[in-house]
Amino acid sequence: MKFGKEFESQMIPEWQEAYMNYNHLKTLLKNIIRFKQRRPSTVPTPGLKRKLTLYRAFSGLTQRMTSPKTPNSATDIESQPILINSVRRQEGEEEYETMFLRSADEGGEYEIVYFRRLDDEFNKVVKFYREKVEEVMKEAAMLNKQMEALIAFRIKVDGGESWIVDRSVEMTRLASGVAASAAALAATTPSGPRTGRRASMDVIHEEIHEEGSNNHGHDLDDQYASDDKFVNNEIKTIKQNGKEHNKLKNLRGSRPTPLEILSHVKMNNNPETPRSTIKSFLSVHDSNEIKFSRENLKKVESQLKRAFVEFYHKLRLLKSYSFLNILAFSKIMKKYDKITSRNASKAYLKMVDSSYLGSSDEVTKLMERVETTFIKHFCNSNRRKGLNILRPQAKRERHRVTFTLGFLCGCTVAFLFALVLVTHARNIVNHERKYQYMETMFPLYSLFGFIALHLLMYAANIYFWKRYRVNYPFIFGFKEGTELGCKDVLLLSFGVAVFAIAGALANLAMEMDPKTQRFQQFTELVPQALLGLFIAMLFCPFNIIFRSNRFFFLRCMFHCICAPLYKVTLPDFFLADQLTSQVQGFRSLEFYICYYGWGDYKNRENTCKTNNLYNTLYFIIAAIPYWSRFLQCLRRLYEERDGMQGINALKYFSTIIAVTMRTAYDLKQGIGWKAIAFISSLIAAIFGTYWDLVIDWGLLQKNSKNRWLRDKLLVPHKSVYFVAMILNVLLRFAWLQTVLKFFYLHKPTLSVLVASLEIFRRGMWSFFRLENEHLNNVGKYRAFKTVPLPFNYDEEEDKND
């Protein structure tokens, strides 16, 4: 693979524009090549060949010095094709400018443009990297405060006052293990020498952490003991010099004693449960005073553990960003040397290495300190366990998944072919009980078809998200390494299809075979057994069949059911949107309860629609997914004060009215119900179509660079977006067949067809919805998850102290 493609594949998707534009610089180099090809160099006559420096020497324009050469000597400058200067801007930022010294050569203007663009790219990369390093340093200081509070919390829970005295030095060192990294940022820029109390404390901290970061192979307990011994020896030396009070204060810093820290912090009570949400809405605030219990200690440790893991992930991404860009500058300069036969890469790469991007080691040191702190405090000094958590292995593609997928795909095709043959051989289409069979068995098995189709669309979305580098694991908030791939979801889809089609074949075989016709009740129980197996696998607590993903799905489903009592996150409302396309599936579940709960399966009769309770629930179940989404919009309107969420809630409310009116027309018929159903559905369809195209997809922007689309597109073919918009409009109006009935179809068949088209539309919507979300993250360089911290520091009290 060429470096350009490898470089692009290794980029952090949300930071694409912050990387060096390698392809554009390659284009500038190709312009130099084209110029050289258009203007072949002429071979000069040997007698006319002269050196410019010779004429300069005789004319007195240059003076040769007999002293040793210095980097800035005239001869050294003449031997170099470029000269790089560091310039300070008014904002205080340091930028680099490259002066091309061979501009008089043929094609020199192309090389000037190249170096000018190269400097722009390098300054852009350095500026972005410096900003991100400053951000992680601030976050490191915040995590340090959290660690101080955690250590004090542990002491308070254990109730060990003597332990405080014995371990106070170690605790101070461990608590400051992260914050000491902030001093490294200032050390990389020119500044005066550090003096006084701060300097002595920084020196001791640096020596401790340098020793701690270079002894990873030794036992951590021995390492900490040696560090404690070092600090204790320093304390004794200071006492002997008669400066006990001031120097001891320097060693331990000006921070309060361990337990005094707790007087400056409060517990963060985030409204993430129904109970806390109701209290927050009723303005009943819980006390933020810390309750020193084992249960609270576990919660605090769990939150801080997640925060450290996410923080370490940020550091890894920053380190990767620095390495990839340095490598890219090295590659592009070597290409330049090869094309122009100059030796400019050595000087330029020397500047890159001495710049902030190449010489700063804050991130590396901070990673080492985070590892040390995390292993000591959260993994009981088990280094292997700690690094496995901080550095999760990339998910590997397993051959057994590919084999099983192929096997189930073949089985699905074979079973479908067998189903067609059985239907044709037994002449089931013309059977006298075909309508009875369609009224009962068809709704029962169609549920599995809806699920398999939805999973199939999700698998297709994952494939295209990966192809166009949409960071869907980050957007959905999957734990690193647990997200499902395209083959995994296809495996589930074909697995559901195989079991459903096999059940239908078994049902038909037992129904049509004279020997098994008497087992009518047993025959009718096949769909129920399939549904029971499916539910059992969904709630299975054992670590089989993608347990983490199943539990993630169940958690999001529970949040949708309990809306608006839970804070709305993207996975929650994305799942709720998916559920709005499974209205017919929910009605199939209702039919399962009615058919088997009321005993209709014993006589293969469908008496559900004659029951008032069933008809009432038929209305309610169709509106539940939209109602859940409506409540989520109200919750976001209340929290975010965003008027667009209120308009979105009106959209879902209009859809609830439309679905209710269509259901009423379906059950009661009549011209009046037909007119009401048509008008309400038309309003909801227009409202929903506009929202899909403009808000969710970000398209139909008249003044964008891509007319009627948006400025940034991931799919290179613009026609794909226009086709998707047209299909979305057509599929949005598929309900017209259920109201106006352009052509006759059997009612269960029509319901399944319309539901399948809606699932297909939702799958197409999902791709462009997530593409738009990804581009919003790219525009804001949003590549990290926000993890809530357990403690809240009272900054005013700290200042007063």
Q: What is the pLDDT of residues 106-137, one digit of tens each?
A: 778 888 999 999 999 999 999 999 999 999 99
Q: Is residue 163 part of a domain?
A: no
Q: Which of 101-105, 164-168, 178-182, 408-412 has the highest mean pLDDT?
A: 408-412
**Is residue 576 in some structural domain?**
yes
Per the structure block, which two tokens stand in for 209? 């952490």
pLDDT above 60 for 734? yes
User: What is the secondary structure of 613-669 as a DSSP string?
Assistant: HHHHHHHHHHHHHHHHHHHHHHHHHHHH--HHHHHHHHHHHHHHHHHHHHHHHHHH-
780 pLDDT band (50/70/90 cuts)?
Answer: confident
Q: Considering the domain boundaries, does residue 372 fall inside one? A: no
Q: φ, ψ for residue 493 (rounded to 5)?
A: -60, -50
pLDDT above 70 for 736: yes
* Strand, helix or coil for residue 81: coil
The DSSP symbol for 692 reads: I
More confident residue, 263 or 760: 760
Q: Which of 180-189, 334-343, 709-718 has the lowest mean pLDDT?
A: 180-189
Alpha-carbon distance 21 to 328, whole Å?
9
Cα separations in angstroms, 197 against 353, 385, 465, 666, 800: 33, 38, 55, 82, 20
In total, the chain counts a number of residues equal to 801
Q: How far apart are CA 697 and CA 688, in angstroms?
A: 12
180 falls within a domain: no
> Residue 369: which of 143, 73, 123, 624 has the closest Cα?
143
Q: Mind listing the pLDDT tens digit for each residue in 606-616?
A: 788 888 888 89
pLDDT tens for 572-621 read 999 999 999 999 999 999 999 998 888 888 877 778 888 888 889 999 99
Query: Among 447-451, 508-512, 691-695, whose mean pLDDT is lowest?
Result: 508-512
Reported pTM:
0.80
Residue 758 has pLDDT above 80, yes or no: yes
Is residue 314 situated within a structural domain?
A: no
Percent of the chain scored above 90 by pLDDT?
Answer: 44
Residue 383 lies in a domain: no
Residue 175 has pLDDT above 70, yes or no: no
pLDDT tens-digit series, residues 11-56? 998 898 999 999 999 999 999 898 888 765 544 444 444 444 433 3
Highest mean pLDDT among 97-106, 227-236, 414-423: 414-423
Say what the pLDDT of residue 285 is.
63
Using the structure block, give the residue that is written with the tokens 């020193």.
292
Closest CA to 662 of 583, 728, 592, 605: 583
- CA 405 to CA 398: how far, in whole Å? 11
Please determine, for residue 730, whether its predicted confidence score (pLDDT) is greater than 90. Answer: yes
16 or 742: which leads in pLDDT: 16
Q: Please say if the pLDDT value at position 335 is more than 80.
A: yes
- 516 within a domain of the structure (yes/no): yes
Indicate the number of domains in the chain.
1
Looking at the predicted structure, is the pLDDT value of residue 421 above 70? yes
Range of the domain at 464: 399-779
Average pLDDT, the chain: 80
Q: Residue 237 domain-assigned?
A: no
pLDDT score, position 201: 34
Provide the pLDDT for residue 476. 93
Q: For residue range 53-70, what is the model confidence (pLDDT) as tens digits?
A: 433 333 333 333 333 444
pLDDT at position 369 is 93
